[in-house]
Structure 1
């Protein structure tokens, strides 16, 4: 873990999550670091995310993109987990005609479901493919009571899922499990990762795990040339 003990990691994260205060005394700048050398492509993050956020068919906040390089037998497989990048300069927000997508002070890019008109401009303008349209489909045939259960997202009780009513007919995305952060917990994908490939914390705190890992020479961000300044940082 780059010289950082698990005790230090969880201790610092607990303080940041409990107080919602950054290392400079203000709001935290939440960020996620993903160590690609530890990702085994098990898709536990994908499953945990769908279970936590009760996302419908066709909506998967956390996906793992797999790529093979080389020729047999010298083949190398790379697993690239891809949640929402929570960009500091989100291209999705720039094109929203009703300002339904906006930045929270803590750095999370949020969507106001009641304001979203489902135009999907943001989906087209997201360079990471991290946004999804909720067509109102469900897992009712596979899971009894799926549409009647409350989604944990944002702590809101939207009631039974019905086509044409919120939260269907709108655009959805990863929120770093904001409802869990409010309870002092880390995102479901981070908590579930069996290889400890994911780290979550406050970039404003120079002593936090994510701040130290983000400063590592191994660190990089996807499509940095676009100037989006993602809050998801990868380690080579």
Structure 2
């Protein structure tokens, strides 16, 4: 690792091996449980794709968190600078600054952002609104209308609050097929750096120049 990279600190990235993903949706469930996301807000989804033509048809599962782009379109369009990229590479949203205009949702080419309309699981689960998971380290208390993140945009942050405790993102920790890898991309000896350099590696919609921090293996 060079001196400049050492000063900047870790550059977080995720690698997802599509050959190992079994489409179990454990990442989706664990993410919702960890981040206490309301109905209609799902930071981790698994897209299903069919490849080829009958009778030679294949199936692939493509998990899609926020790409944490190095050139994020969502940051460029935010009129109040509520969305910004941290030095460690994670794109976050300041819910106290966000005005809910949703320009960033329209700008995201990956469909990885959601608006919190204030919907709730209270009818299905007792006490659902009493505990609000911290958004990048800030405990916002019980959910209620007029209090962020209700009325603002939400997205995956690589479970930043877990990283601050020295833990992996919930989706990585719970992946049944061990398809997800997380670490410091600036460290050439890290697992993610070695996998990102593999000939199997690719990024979604590379032609857009967004430079995602989520890398896939074919």
Give the TM-score, by structure 1 length: 0.88
Total equivalences in the alignment: 216
Q: 2:161 — aligned with what?
A: 179
Deviation at residue 163 of structure 1 after TM alignment: 1.7
Deviation at residue 23 of structure 1 after TM alignment: 6.3
| Alpha-carbon separation, structure 2, partners of 1:204 and 1:67 | 32
Whether 1:148 and 2:119 are equivalent positions in the alignment is no
Q: Give 1:214's match in structure 2, choosing from 196, 206, 214.
A: 196
| Distance change (3 Å), C-alpha of 1:56 and 1:133 | same
For residues 171-191 of structure 1, the C-alpha deviation after alignment (integer angstroms, 9 at most, x for no partner) is 000000000000000000000
Structure 1, unaligned runs of 5 or more:
1-20
Deviation at residue 158 of structure 1 after TM alignment: 1.3
Is the contact between residue 22 and residue 28 of structure 1 (CA under 8 Å) also seen in structure 2?
no
Structure 2, unaligned runs of 5 or more:
none
Deviation at residue 152 of structure 1 after TM alignment: 3.0
| Alpha-carbon separation, structure 2, partners of 1:53 and 1:169 | 16
For residues 110-149 of structure 1, the C-alpha deviation after alignment (integer angstroms, 9 at most, x for no partner) is 1000000000000000000000000000100111001111
Deviation at residue 170 of structure 1 after TM alignment: 0.1
Q: Give 1:61's match in structure 2, choosing from 35, 40, 43.
A: 43
Q: 1:124 — aligned with what?
A: 106
Q: 2:66 — aligned with what?
A: 84
Write out the 4+ residue segments of structure 1 that deviate beyond 6 Å after TM superposition.
Answer: none
More helix by share: 1
Q: 1:231 — aligned with what?
A: 213
| Alpha-carbon separation, structure 2, partners of 1:104 and 1:216 | 26
Q: Give 1:49's match in structure 2, choosing from 24, 31, 34.
A: 31
Secondary structure, aligned partner of 1:154: coil
For residues 47-104 of structure 1, the C-alpha deviation after alignment (integer angstroms, 9 at most, x for no partner) is 0000000000000000000011234443211100000000001000000000000010
Give the TM-score, by structure 2 length: 0.96
Q: 2:13 — aligned with what?
A: 31
Q: 1:8 — aligned with what?
A: none
Deviation at residue 192 of structure 1 after TM alignment: 0.4
Q: 1:201 — aligned with what?
A: 183
| Alpha-carbon separation, structure 2, partners of 1:66 and 1:168 | 30
Once superposed, what is the RMSD of the aligned Cα atoms? 1.4
